[in-house]
Amino acid sequence: MAVNRYYSAIAQDTTVTSGITSSSTSVAVTAVTGFPTNYPFALALDYGNALEEIVDVTNVAGLTLTITRGVNSTTAVAHAAGATVRHVITARDMTDAQTHYNTALTAGAHGVTGALATFLGTPISANLAAVVTDETGSGPLVFATGPTLSGPTITGTVNAGGTTGASGQYLQSTATGVQWANVTTPATGAALADIFTLMGA
C-alpha cells in the first residue's frame, strides 16, 4: 500500500562520509542541506552508477541518516566513502499515482470507504439512504413535479394547483386529487364531508 513520502525541491547532493556494508541501517553523510524534515523520504546512494541503491530515510540525527535498505526493487549493496547521495523521486512514485488514478471509489480511492464509497460507485436511492442518518420515509428518491406519495404526513401550508385558496374557499376532494372550491357553491354530500373534516368535526 502506498504511504505518504516527503520531498524537497532544494535538497543538495551530498556524499557518504564513511563506507557502509549491505546490512548497515544508517549512513553518515557530509551534509543534509535542503533535505525534507519529515519522514520517510527517498535517497539514491551511489547515484548514477551500477551500485545505485534506493533507500528510505526514516530519521535524521545530525549528519547520520537512519535508512531502510534496497527499496523500490533495488538491492542493498556496500557503498564506499565519497559515494554520491541524491534526494530523488522514484519509479514507485509514478506507479503509486497511476494506481491511485485507476482505483475505483468503491475500492477506497481518496480514503473513501464504506457506505459512501458504495453510493459514489452506484448512486441509487438505497445506497444514499445508507449514507444519510436523519432521513424520513422510505422508498426511492423523488425529483419530479408530480410525485406519487403514499400516506404522507404534511405540516405547514398546503397549496392546491400551486396557489393559495382565496378567502372563503376550501380544499375539496376530486377523483384525481384536491382542488379549491367556493363555500358559496351548493355543497354536495362529499363536499360537506370535506368541510367537516377540515373543521375537525
Report the sign of the C-alpha dihedral through residues 110, 112, 116, 118, in that order. Answer: positive
182: CB partners within 8 A, 6+ apart: 168, 169
Amino acid symbol at 157: T
Matching residue, cell 376530486: 174
- Tens-digit pLDDT string for the chain (201 aa): 446 899 999 999 999 999 999 999 999 999 999 999 999 999 999 999 999 999 999 999 999 999 999 999 999 999 999 999 999 999 998 887 777 666 666 655 566 777 877 887 788 888 888 888 777 777 777 766 666 767 777 666 655 566 666 777 777 777 777 777 776 655 555 555 665 565 555
pLDDT at residue 121, rounded to an integer:
79
pLDDT at residue 119, rounded to an integer:
81
The residues spanned by each domain of the chain are: 14-94, 104-131, 169-198
| 3-class state of residue 114 by DSSP | helix
Q: Whose CA is closest to 53, among 74, 36, 33, 68?
A: 74
For residues 172 and 160, the answer to whether their CB atoms sit within 8 Å is no
Q: What CATH class is the domain 14-94?
A: mainly beta
pLDDT at residue 1, rounded to an integer:
45
